[in-house]
Amino acid sequence: MMISSKSFVVGENAVTSETENFFEALKEEVMQNPKQAKSLLKNLCTTGTTLASMLMQTNLAMAAPTSPVPTDITDGLKATIITIIVIGVGLSIILLSLSSILKMSPIKNKADEWSVNILKGLAQLLMAPIIVGLIVGLYFLLFGNVAIFQPIEDPIRVFFQHH
């Protein structure tokens, strides 16, 4: 597919641009492979229909979801997660530096193994909050409306009411 540079003729109707050349090249490509074009058009129609139906079925209440977990708890958890990640990243930088120093010594194989373990631990440290967050989010999405799984707002009051 070759697209030529812009060329404009002032005062006349003969104007060619990159856009026109692009559509001409696209038309030629579609003519050469009609099965792929038909498949792409079908996928585009399906995607468009799905997105349109999702937009039409949503209401304004879905725009501002409320969290079942109080903000005090989530703020504390966020601060704890950020603190642990900062400490872990700092520690991994220090340990990788020590590992690179050990690579100059006769125990190079042990240092290589140590470096791999440090990088695996760092990846796990960075991915753990994301994975746990996805699991908790999926839990609340699936079981948020089930009465048994609703969080108890005041467990002490509920405990003394039943006894």
Mean pLDDT in the chain?
76
Residue 18 included in any domain: no
Residue 42 included in any domain: no
Residue 131 included in any domain: yes
The two three-digit tokens of residue 22, written as one number: 């692009």
* pTM of this structure: 0.45
Q: What is the dihedral of CA 35, 36, 42, 47, to 10 degrees?
A: 170
Residue 54 included in any domain: no
Residue 4 included in any domain: no
34-70 pLDDT, tens digit each:
787 788 788 888 888 887 877 777 666 555 556 656 7
User: Given this model, what pLDDT does residue 148 score?
Assistant: 67
Residue 114 included in any domain: yes
As beta bridge partners, residue 7 has 16
Residue 107 included in any domain: yes
Residue 30 included in any domain: no
14-27 pLDDT, tens digit each:
445 556 777 787 77
DSSP H helical ranges for 33-162: 34-57, 71-102, 108-143, 155-162
Q: Containing domain of residue 130, as a range?
A: 68-162
Q: Residue 33 above 50 pLDDT?
A: yes
Number of domains present in the structure of the chain: 1
Burial 53-92 (b: 16+ CB within 10 A, else e): eeeeeeeeeeeeeeeeeeeeeeeeeeeeeeeeeeebeeeb
The two three-digit tokens of residue 50, written as one number: 């799905």
